Structure 1
């Protein structure tokens, strides 16, 4: 069962209100009769579901063991305990447009057994791994729900490590993040500066947020709070959910610098739900096309081989990309360039060496093998982000640092990177209008020593905003970023006297 979004609920509520107004103009007797029938039906439904389950605790964490007692059951009959599990995913349309999260509910079995001669049943179950929040537990016999009770799964948070020099990678591991509007998005601050978004939508509440240690030697405060509008909800104790966790951590920055201080692009992670599914390639019968690598950075060498092409003809290698802008008003569309041409040998085979084009990253590009104006074979090549230059690497406060990155994308989930300086979010960079090139500058600030500059993936735009995830760094990019797997980019600058 799909769980409706806020937008869908609002529309449904509006329609119900309109229908109610129309109904008010009808005969009062009919309305009263319908009301009586509805009340009677509701009362019957309420009688069917008993309050006949008691739990040893009414809230806890995933994998906790909970004891239960059920009464008022059919004696000596099979019985089961069930739970409303939630599954989450991102909806992406047309390969580039982020609609938003979607959640589906499914009833799962916690445990089975048999009622005794007095209609009682006792046992225990483990809280399922998955989303946190408020859940319903049912007791069933013969496939029918007899009774119910509520249980709350709280999120848990662990920070590793607890100390290290500037540049140390800090991982915050979470389980039981919520799926509801209020409990879905978590926001992280570092020394009271906003850093980014924490989610576990496609991973059903399990997530890892990664940042790097920054600042002077000493203790630094990391806070996590819910915030469905894109920032932390600070006075959560006065919210409708004052009982929910609000974790605080202290990370101690020690002397020296971490090995991860060096400028680098992280390993490419796995996209949420495996990423978007590219259209199926269309090759003519028996034509086979292979690449020596299917992804790489701008300028890296690639060898293309193909077989069963028309013998002793010339093949043209056509590279498909996108051009345009979302903000100029001119729109965007597909564009092609020719990587080169080569003769096919007498056996219908060909080898073609070329550098990865200086173009957009993100989702893969299609390469067409065209002979006499007709496409005979196709393959996909993905361009990964790379650091081209950063100058200078050190200097006094006020130094302008010039940086160039290549391989930025064009879709709503990979066209932008979101920049933090010492874990303070400062703004975003868009690669679409510049064909994947991100050239920008940062002003050096802070005390003497190393300062970290990190670029995170995020979501540029989403259609359904019951929770706003746009234009902020997604710190859980390595486990829960939709569309394409975009790595974080790690940079550092040394402030001198």
Structure 2
């Protein structure tokens, strides 16, 4: 049936509705052009299809670390991502009004988009997420931690690297590359007991830009919200001392670091558990080997040197693991103790007649082997030995911080364990050594993430979760 015979007003209304349903542009109005994560904003739609259920989408990005061969960090990489924000119901005039909470996401401009039933965008508006920072504790006992969380970080290079200072001394940096612009850091409650200050700075070069909040062309660090926090360190709840490694996770070896067998064979070997620190008790199981046959188990370290331009390759250590004999079904099971060695994936090969027929790997995790002495006089040397420090660039430069002051890093390529010496300094009392993951090398140098304690390793380090290492020493009179 055509429109002949209808009044001009009816014809106009029908025409408008057809155009709207065919994707004609509507209007989207936001209560705020700028907002912080967790803010609630009002989204109003006008000139939309009447009495329609419409989907509203949030356009953003997904971030990750670009890493080659489970080793070389190429910097932060982002790709477009669209998520469903809400479903809106228009009234008979093509209007709707909805409240919506800004999700955890990267800073910068984001598009909110209304789509019709044909998945066509019929109205858009933009809101800019501003970065901000919160502190969980404003009081902590000596030796405890203050937790700082940043929201709306990155992805652009200016807002992708924030530095944290303790009493005007830089501790390290945070970034929100992996975690949708959210980053968590813990700052040690170092002495003396009393008032201290934590401050957040911003600079793509990886060090605080002193004009952040006075003359920066990019505005204040937190866009009007708090970026410095007064905190109180109180007397410890109990006697302090000792050292510990943060929680370790069950992991699997990275297959990219496990060499293929030299001979094609049906045999397989597995290790249980697949991850742990040096000294872990484990079981290697072999199946589908020739019956009643000697099988040499070979542990591999890694050798080479980046600075000397010596390629880094798996290095067989044939004396570390035993030779086993299969049973009549071609199986074996051998209990072993994980040796001291460099961290990351440790290849294990099963050899027959000096040629590997099956391979697997064990994910070696970081450990503190020695801190001696733990009670020292001022100026005395503290000897520290770490195990399981990895060879890939994202984990081979563990960075030492003394009473929240960075000292330097140890390298996981120099030896099978990492040894260093630190001078006991400061007033009599407790002092704290914290060792954080860092990046030895990043191919993309903006922003600069290299050789600085990575304080947001808790939720933003590439490839795999790495633990922080913590030590307490006491300086006597």
CA shift at 1:462, angstroms? 0.8
Corresponding residue number in structure 2 for 1:236: 212
Corresponding residue number in structure 1 for 2:167: 191
Cα separation, partners in 2 of 1:93 and 1:471, compared to 1, 3 Å = same
CA shift at 1:444, angstroms? 1.5
Cα separation, partners in 2 of 1:155 and 1:259, compared to 1, 3 Å = farther
> 2:286, 2:397 → 1: CA distance?
35
> 2:24, 2:240 → 1: CA distance?
57
Gaps of 5+ in 2: 1-22
Corresponding residue number in structure 1 for 2:288: 308
Corresponding residue number in structure 2 for 1:205: 181
> 2:164, 2:26 → 1: CA distance?
40
CA shift at 1:297, angstroms? 2.5
| Contact residue 51 and residue 149 of structure 1 kept, 8 A | no
Higher helix proportion (structure 1 or 2): 1
Cα separation, partners in 2 of 1:350 and 1:147, compared to 1, 3 Å = closer
Q: Which residue of 96, 115, 119 corresponds with 1:121?
A: 96
| Contact residue 404 and residue 439 of structure 1 kept, 8 A | yes
Cα separation, partners in 2 of 1:351 and 1:140, compared to 1, 3 Å = closer
CA shift at 1:431, angstroms? 1.9
* 1:158 and 2:134 aligned: yes
**CA offsets per residue over residues 96-130 of structure 1, 9 Å max, x none?**
11111111112333233354444433323232332
* 1:444 and 2:424 aligned: yes
| Contact residue 188 and residue 196 of structure 1 kept, 8 A | yes
**CA offsets per residue over residues 396-418 of structure 1, 9 Å max, x none?**
32112111112111111111110
SS in structure 2 of the partner of residue 182 of structure 1: helix
CA shift at 1:378, angstroms? 2.3
Which range is displaced more, 179-188 or 278-287? 278-287
> 1:99, 1:156 → 2: CA distance?
27
Cα separation, partners in 2 of 1:84 and 1:270, compared to 1, 3 Å = farther
Q: Which residue of 447, 463, 466 corresponds with 1:467?
A: 447
| Contact residue 198 and residue 475 of structure 1 kept, 8 A | yes
Matches within 5 A, 1:121-160: 121-141=96-116, 142-160=118-136
Gaps of 5+ in 1: 1-47
Cα separation, partners in 2 of 1:280 and 1:442, compared to 1, 3 Å = closer
| Contact residue 221 and residue 227 of structure 2 kept, 8 A | no
Structure-2-length-normalised TM-score: 0.85
SS in structure 1 of the partner of residue 322 of structure 2: strand
| Contact residue 269 and residue 487 of structure 1 kept, 8 A | no
CA shift at 1:290, angstroms? 3.3
Q: Which residue of 373, 391, 396 corresponds with 1:410?
A: 391
CA shift at 1:191, angstroms? 0.8
Number of equivalences: 446
| Contact residue 304 and residue 311 of structure 2 kept, 8 A | yes
| Contact residue 96 and residue 413 of structure 1 kept, 8 A | yes
* 1:67 and 2:48 aligned: no
Matches within 5 A, 1:230-379: 230-237=206-213, 238-245=215-222, 247-256=227-236, 261-268=241-248, 278=256, 287-338=267-318, 339-361=321-343, 363-379=344-360
Q: State the Cα RMSD in Å.
A: 2.7
Structure-1-length-normalised TM-score: 0.82
> 1:327, 1:279 → 2: CA distance?
21
Cα separation, partners in 2 of 1:277 and 1:302, compared to 1, 3 Å = closer
CA shift at 1:493, angstroms? 1.5
> 2:155, 2:277 → 1: CA distance?
36
> 2:241, 2:145 → 1: CA distance?
9
| Contact residue 240 and residue 430 of structure 2 kept, 8 A | no
SS in structure 2 of the partner of residue 348 of structure 1: coil
Cα separation, partners in 2 of 1:258 and 1:480, compared to 1, 3 Å = farther
> 1:173, 1:480 → 2: CA distance?
12
> 1:232, 1:197 → 2: CA distance?
10
